[in-house]
């Protein structure tokens, strides 16, 4: 009679093993967000508590897969397409960092080097950099096109109606 139950135990053991492996973080899924990299040409600005610091700081994490990142976020994504050596790059990046901090948990912020990501430039309908765009679940909602000056109010207006309160 014990031989009759042996195959069932094997099946049960295999099912338990598969379930356990699926429950392990990172097993079976490939997170599009990688390690901290402040020089990444495509980076998620992640509000995080930094070791040895009080409060939250903005950490740049390399994004490995643009499409998976845009489609997989549970909130809208504010995208900055910038030119690393452009005159407006620093101003645009500082604004994105400020918005990442102010709207943490409400929007996700992504900074991309325009020359390295022409596919993202096309997705955002950006004629030139810098350009801010707002996407949700991989669909473009709004864009500033190319900017000749950084207008903070124009970027904040893109967020109105979509994000009612900052965390």
Query: Domain of 140: which CATH number?
Result: 3.40.30.10
Q: Which residues contact 134 (CB under 8 A, 6 or more apart)?
A: 76, 77, 78, 79, 140, 141, 142, 143, 158, 159, 162
Please count the structural domains in the chain: 1
Structure tokens at 145: 């096109």
pLDDT at 127: 85
- For residue 7, being part of any structural domain is answered with no
- For residue 139, being part of any structural domain is answered with yes
Question: Distance between CA atoms of 125 and 12, rounded to whole angstroms?
Answer: 52
- Per-residue model confidence as pLDDT tens digits over 41-85: 999 999 988 777 777 889 999 999 999 999 999 999 999 999 988
Give the other-Cβ count within 10 Å of 78's Cβ.
Answer: 27
- For residue 12, being part of any structural domain is answered with no
- For residue 51, being part of any structural domain is answered with yes
Residue numbers of the domain that contains 65: 30-159
**Coil vs helix vs strand at 66:** helix
- For residue 17, being part of any structural domain is answered with no
- For residue 58, being part of any structural domain is answered with yes
CA-closest candidate to residue 99, choices 91, 72, 38, 35 = 91
- For residue 164, being part of any structural domain is answered with no
User: For residue 62, is it left (φ>0), alpha (ψ between -120 and 50) or beta?
Assistant: beta
- For residue 106, being part of any structural domain is answered with yes
Longest dimension (CA), the chain: 81
pLDDT at 54: 74
pTM reported for the whole predicted model: 0.77
Q: Which of the four pLDDT bands, split at 50, 70 and 90, describes residue 115?
A: very high
- Per-residue model confidence as pLDDT tens digits over 90-112: 999 999 999 999 999 999 999 99
């Amino acid at each position: 009679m014990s031989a009759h139950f042996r195959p069932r135990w094997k099946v049960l053991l295999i099912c338990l093993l598969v379930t356990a492996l699926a429950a392990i973080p990172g097993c079976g899924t490939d997170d599009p967000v990688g390690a901290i990299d402040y020089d990444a040409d495509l980076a998620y600005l992640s509000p995080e508590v930094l070791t040895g610091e009080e409060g939250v700081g903005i950490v740049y994490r390399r994004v490995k897969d643009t499409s998976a990142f845009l489609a997989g976020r549970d909130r809208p994504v504010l995208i900055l397409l910038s030119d690393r050596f452009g005159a407006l790059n620093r101003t645009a990046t500082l604004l994105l960092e400020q918005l990442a901090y102010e709207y943490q948990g409400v929007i996700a912020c992504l900074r991309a080097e325009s020359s390295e990501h022409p596919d993202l430039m096309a997705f955002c309908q950006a004629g030139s950099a810098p350009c801010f765009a707002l996407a949700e679940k991989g669909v473009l909602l709004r864009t500033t096109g190319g900017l000749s000056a950084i207008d903070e109010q124009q970027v904040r207006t893109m967020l109105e109606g979509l994000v009612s309160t900052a965390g």
